[in-house]
Chains A and B, each alone.
Chain A
């Protein structure tokens, strides 16, 4: 602590090496006390029924050492990644490199996304995974409108995903409507359900709102399971038509796209098509959200998150403002659901459990509520990262959980916590995350 006590900055946090060492020592000490019994001494029932024990001081030392080292690394990383405009011991060049990377990250990611089918044309697995990641990016962006912008905690987002998926599946299988006709219908129906959900929850805040939305998600799932005659119940809906490229099917037949173009048919064509389809849909979601933020409705959403009472004093109808947020988020969820149905060709209630809602919410929270880029990165990390650890099998969940906990410790407001203003006179400067409210009411 003494290392920088002379620094004039009022917000200076202790960041000297002495402080880090002290903290690591304390962590190591705690680990020693904790693990000395848990790991240092091992007991077991002996052959005669008596208790035998032996010591494992080597393992204990290794673990305490790991905690010590880990604690130093954690502290260093925390200071590197610390909230904006805080003192840090990161050297200037690294800082400017990070900010440079930050500026170019979004365009670079976008270009990369467009090139994925070209680069990985022969790797079906990667293409499939990318489609999955993009679906979650889109869901994350959709939920971001509700949670990140309007600050309404929605734990039942999967309901709208399900409404979208079933809308397309049922309209297509029963009435033979094409994907392109059903897509807007799915969005509209989901938005309609969003408004329906919105009405009863408008008066609720915080935890109550979360619980009611959670219940709504479950209700939709249970209705789907039990309304056998319409939805097929637990058996789901199968034989959902695949999307066509504006009427031209992507099949090996004579009227298929491959035959018309005079190239050899390959199942990858459909995958590539699906990839660009979801990419376009996700980008549309992103574009609309960015536009909406700069319109009065989007500003009202954010104002609502900041202070609802002040909104009312300014003549903002908080009821309709909340409803539009719910409806907009639900609409994007519905679009994504329709895409999901056409991609899978088969849907059942199992795909729409609470776990999905939780996953999408985790993506939004992890990404930094309100940040479009953050949500995309979080979706990539969560869905992609989860696949990456497939080899580790039983440790997958553990690693995943630890990674999330660590991330939330370093960046409590998500990967990209600061907020970009929607309008400015002279300087377009980011707003530090500790000023931005989280809402939830």
Chain B
């Protein structure tokens, strides 16, 4: 646990009534690295994401985000939309949440809302159709086009998001998150429901986001081939607590991790052991 951390989660607690979904969890995510958060079903991974992205207010603990420029933001004190707007944390959802009745391009335009609002002079300049607004809109369309191209959806730009196949929707959601130009990208099971070829493409996409954009990625994933192949650091959770962390190899051979997966689900345990060999 050395180096430059963008995200530091410190003794995070999340209770729902009597249930302790996350219990004194501490970990850190390194800047410009891919950190994976894994664990059996119900371990509390999505809950951690919801705390980081402001959908839940943690019952205790601290979440610190350190920006490139040295600013440190206490995420647990901000709520919902400010986390994306001010702290520049973007996320995707375990069950995809696109705007199904809007086109792929429109989805990416909505993601640039805050930048475009400023450019449209809080709507007034835009209403008059001033040239400065037109330029800003063109730039936004270009950014959207770039990302559509990156996730190979350029030819589906004008199709309704709800009409796209499942794998395309997953990629579109990542593109949409990237259009907010985040410092930290949180992906909740991006490979769920993808076939082998699609998940290979996803690996490349995530690596290129890390390498070209320099975005740090926090990743929840069940698909061990994805975790083993692309993550730089792995944090393993079970029943709301951290049971192991380290490099993918170290975690894979950790008996505690194998036991947790064996106890939870045999198939997954086997997947852990077989992948990466």
Contacts and interface: CB of A to CB of B under 8 A. Distances in A.
A191 B62 CA distance: 41
27 contacts: A291-B129, A295-B126, A296-B109, A296-B120, A296-B123, A299-B110, A300-B110, A300-B113, A302-B102, A306-B102, A307-B99, A307-B100, A310-B99, A312-B81, A313-B84, A313-B93, A314-B90, A315-B83, A316-B113, A316-B114, A421-B103, A421-B158, A422-B106, A425-B154, A431-B160, A432-B160, A435-B101
B252 interface: no
Contacts of B81: 311-312, 314-318
B45 interface: no
Contacts of B123: 292, 295-297, 324
A309 interface: yes
Interface string A416-436: 000101111111110110011
B127 to A, nearest CB: 6
Given A312-B84, A426-B157, 20 more contacts: A296-B112, A296-B116, A299-B109, A302-B102, A303-B102, A310-B97, A311-B110, A312-B80, A313-B90, A313-B97, A315-B83, A315-B114, A316-B81, A316-B113, A423-B109, A423-B141, A426-B158, A429-B158, A429-B159, A436-B101
Interface in B16-49: none
A314 B101 contact: no
Contact of A315 (B84, B101, B103, B126): B84
B242 interface: no
Interface of A: 288, 291-292, 295-297, 299-300, 302-303, 306-307, 309-318, 324, 419, 421-429, 431-432, 435-437
B225 interface: no
Nearest to A316: B113
Nearest to A296: B116
B105 A314 contact: no
B127 A435 contact: no
Contact of B91 (A313, A419, A428): A313
Interface of B: 53-55, 80-85, 90-91, 93, 97-103, 105-106, 109-114, 116-117, 120, 123, 126-127, 129, 141, 145, 154, 157-160, 162-163, 176-177, 180
B218 to A, nearest CB: 14
A106 to B, nearest CB: 21
A429 to B, nearest CB: 6
Contacts of A299: 102, 106, 109-110, 113
A300 B126 CA distance: 14
Contacts of B93: 309-310, 313
B109 A307 contact: no
Nearest to B54: A312
A435 B160 contact: yes
Contact of B127 (A292, A306, A310, A317): A292
Contacts of B120: 295-297
* Interface-centre pick from B91, B102, B157 (highest chain A CB count, 10 A): B102
A227 B114 CA distance: 43
A218 to B, nearest CB: 32
A427 B162 CA distance: 17
B265 to A, nearest CB: 28
Q: Which 10 A-B pairs have the closest CB atoms?
A: A315-B84, A436-B101, A315-B85, A306-B99, A296-B116, A435-B162, A310-B97, A312-B80, A295-B126, A303-B110
Contact of A437 (B55, B91, B100, B126): B100
Given A295-B127, A303-B99, A313-B91, A425 B145 contact: yes
Contacts of B158: 421, 424-429
Contacts of B157: 424-426
Given A296-B120, A297-B117, A316-B113, A423 B105 contact: yes
A311 B109 CA distance: 12
A276 to B, nearest CB: 24
B43 to A, nearest CB: 22
A372 to B, nearest CB: 17
Contacts of B117: 296-297
A314 B55 CA distance: 12
Nearest to B127: A291
Contacts of A310: 93, 97-99
Given A303-B99, A306-B101, A307-B98, A315 B106 contact: no
Nearest to A437: B101
Contacts of B160: 431-432, 435
A65 B129 CA distance: 60
Given A421-B103, A435-B160, A296 B98 contact: no
B90 A419 contact: no
Given A315-B180, A424-B158, A425-B158, A288 B99 contact: no
Contacts of B112: 296
A307 B145 CA distance: 23
Contacts of B103: 421, 423-424, 431
Contacts of B177: 313-314
B109 to A, nearest CB: 6
Contacts of B102: 299, 302-303, 306, 421, 431
Contacts of A312: 54-55, 80-81, 84
Contacts of A437: 100-101
A423 B163 CA distance: 17
Nearest to A318: B81
A247 to B, nearest CB: 27
A246 to B, nearest CB: 23
A296 B145 contact: no
B137 to A, nearest CB: 8
Contacts of B98: 307, 310
A297 B127 CA distance: 11
A291 B134 CA distance: 13
A428 B82 CA distance: 34
B5 to A, nearest CB: 23
A426 B103 CA distance: 12
Nearest to B91: A313
Contact of A314 (B110, B127, B145, B162): B110
A306 B109 CA distance: 14
A435 B126 contact: no
Given A306-B99, A313-B97, A316-B113, A296 B126 contact: yes
